[in-house]
A and B are shown apart, each in its own frame.
Chain A
Amino acid sequence: MLSVTKNIAGSVNRLLNRLEGTVSRDEHMRLARALAPTIQTLSSVDGVSVERLVNISIESPRDCFDSWSDKVEQRERPAIARWLTNLAQACANGCTRLESSEPFAQIDHAVLGCAVGDSLDAENVAAVVFGVAHGAADEDCKTLMQLKALFALHRYWVSMSAPVRAAIRTFFLARTPVQWVPPQRIQYGCSLALRGALFLTRLGDEDRAIESFTRDLAERIMRRIELKRAGAFSFHVPPQLADPRPLLEQQRLTYGLLEASFTFGDARFLNTALKANDLVHRSLARRFSAATADCSALSNVIFYCASVQAQEALLAELSR
């Protein structure tokens, strides 16, 4: 009788897992492998790098998160540093008009890995930001400029000089975690605040303010995703932002939570990221295949592979 009950319970459990959309390691790996050719087709990334990206047998999470530093070429750094410093100064002076001398165009396609396709977003946002900044009320400009700064940071936070770091820190702390993640919604772009703040935290400057900001922000994002599930990813998008890519923002948030789990050694963030990545799996499997993907899908594919790699590394570490 007991064994019959156990068998029934096991079967029901499997069925419930299926209905809940729980994705197994093998299913994630299959999708990552199926999408890998997309990366090679749509970018000039070589086969070895692609293989490295879809390899989910990485032993240490450190190898996932710290390897981002070799993904930006040295020659891009001064341009971004200059741009960020100008932006920081302009904001400090209360200026709402900026010169649109963008470093983005020169940068991105040389940047390997997770930043590759994302350049399209950055250019898009930058264009909108500048378009709006000329006519908008001060507060809107400030928000959008911050958003812009964060998009720029996205490709720069692998290495930063002290003044730039200080400027970025000011950007983050100018808004509280509650402002970034109000009770009812997540602001489009706040994944970049999370990931940038996590980067600053990991630099280890003993900066308690930024560490506490980062913990709070990650906690609020986690809570929102846990409570609202897929609904959490209906982002509040600034009306001026043309062509937002909510799936990509969802993926950035998922990756940010994985980084938070690694940074704070807190499995709760991994728990939420696993659920969020299961949702991403469903969307990607439905939406893209290697044959149909276009340039706009490239970031999605790369982020997905990087997230699966990171989550498996964190799970492996937890199992030891």
Chain B
Amino acid sequence: MNVVIVAPIENSLYSLLVTELAAQEPGVRVTGIVLRRILDWRRISSEYRRDGPRLLRKIWSKLIRNNIDQRSAGPELTLEALARDQGLPERRLSQLARRRCIPLHRTRRFEDSSVIAFLRRAEPDVVLFTGGGLLRKDFLAASGGGVFNVHMGILPPYRGMDVVEWPFLETKAGDDAQVGLTLHLMDQGLDTGDILRVRQVSARTVESFTALRRRLGPMMVELMIAGLRDLRDGKMQPAPQKLQDGRQYFVMHPRLKEIATKRFHTWRRHCSAPGPNTVASVSTP
């Protein structure tokens, strides 16, 4: 089974781990990596047009804060710890591609004709998306059996952004917030494609949203690889989403984030009964 990886930046630990673990899977061959150029004026200007000054926060959190968080994390399982466990020596996708002899294609935009040509040469059965922006019709059409994405929230209820925080803002006192991950097929909408696997996560044992996101990192890798195995073993059962069962969420305003954080801490205090460990359940739809 041929697999192509789509990555947002050279040093994304998530992309590195997905690539490495996919390449280790029996019966799976990584036939290409599509890497988006980060220092590209057109990418920066189009993202600035879309995000405005929020782009600076994105750069801070994705390129700097995440690295600091991963390195300063406690003994719990993080992407950094998973990379250590796997003995992953590289910190850059280009290095990994060289070691594993995987063709790597750098691009400014995913919809460029050169990307489509690269995909056709790689003949993927599936594309594993690890970030980098929306995908257009031509890309999706050239991606073989589909594009897998792990969404950091439960679908269908929570589509969009900041869906780790939103459930705590919306959940009534005493109820459990719906936190977790969803593996789904990408389509042209935002988190609207067919659902492949849902993984509920309990947040009882984490101290903050940052810690929760950190814990979700390695689970995202596991979920992606589990989906890959399902496809290889013919066990994949895509379930279409009913859009009316969910809502689209946007970046949370800092003042609402403050309230969500307070609610999260109140909720944790009230969870006096010992709960299940971080992973509560894994289900296929």
Contact = CB atoms under 8 A, between A and B. Distances in A.
Interface of A: 1-2, 5, 9, 12, 16-17, 19-22, 24-25, 222-223, 226-227, 229-230, 267-268, 270-272, 274-275, 315, 318-319
Interface in B226-272: 247-256, 259, 262
A121 to B, nearest CB: 29
Classify the interface of chain B: helix, strand, loop or mixed. Answer: helix
Contact of B65 (A9, A24, A318): A9
Nearest to A1: B72
Contacts of A12: 60, 65
A221 to B, nearest CB: 13
Contacts of B262: 319
Nearest to A312: B255
A318 B247 CA distance: 19
B68 interface: yes
B57 interface: yes
A304 to B, nearest CB: 17
Shortest Cβ-Cβ A-B pairs, 9 listed: A226-B250, A274-B253, A20-B53, A19-B53, A16-B57, A22-B254, A271-B253, A319-B259, A318-B259
B53 A223 contact: no
A21 B68 contact: no
Nearest to B161: A226
Contacts of A24: 255
Interface of B: 50, 52-54, 56-57, 60, 65, 68, 72, 169-170, 247-256, 259, 262
B253 to A, nearest CB: 4
A5 B259 contact: no
B56 A16 contact: yes
29 contacts: A1-B72, A5-B72, A16-B53, A16-B56, A16-B57, A17-B254, A19-B56, A20-B52, A20-B54, A20-B57, A22-B253, A22-B254, A24-B255, A226-B250, A226-B251, A229-B52, A267-B169, A267-B170, A268-B249, A268-B250, A271-B250, A271-B252, A271-B253, A271-B256, A272-B250, A275-B253, A318-B169, A318-B259, A319-B259
B56 A2 contact: no
A23 to B, nearest CB: 9
A223 B256 contact: no
Contacts of A22: 253-255
Nearest to B249: A268
B68 A267 contact: no
B47 to A, nearest CB: 13
Contacts of B60: 12, 16
A274 B247 CA distance: 19
Contacts of B247: 268
Nearest to A6: B72
B56 A223 contact: no
Contacts of B252: 271
Contacts, number: 57
Given A12-B60, A19-B56, A267-B170, A315 B255 contact: yes
Contacts of A318: 169, 256, 259
Contacts of A274: 253, 255-256
Contacts of B169: 267, 318
Nearest to A270: B256
A319 to B, nearest CB: 5
Contacts of B259: 315, 318-319
Given A24-B255, A222-B250, A226-B251, 20 more contacts: A12-B60, A12-B65, A16-B53, A16-B56, A16-B60, A20-B56, A21-B53, A22-B253, A223-B248, A226-B250, A229-B52, A268-B247, A268-B250, A270-B256, A271-B250, A271-B252, A274-B253, A274-B255, A274-B256, A319-B259
A74 B248 CA distance: 42
B182 to A, nearest CB: 19
A274 B255 CA distance: 8
A274 B251 CA distance: 12
A24 B254 CA distance: 9
A228 B170 CA distance: 25
Contacts of A275: 253
A274 B257 CA distance: 12
A227 B52 CA distance: 10
Given A16-B57, A20-B53, A267-B169, A5 B256 contact: no
A267 B253 CA distance: 11
A267 B170 CA distance: 8
Contacts of B57: 16, 20
A271 B260 CA distance: 12
B151 to A, nearest CB: 17
Contacts of A319: 259, 262
A315 B255 CA distance: 8
Nearest to A21: B53
A274 B253 CA distance: 7
Contacts of A25: 255
A274 B111 CA distance: 34
B169 to A, nearest CB: 6
Nearest to B51: A229
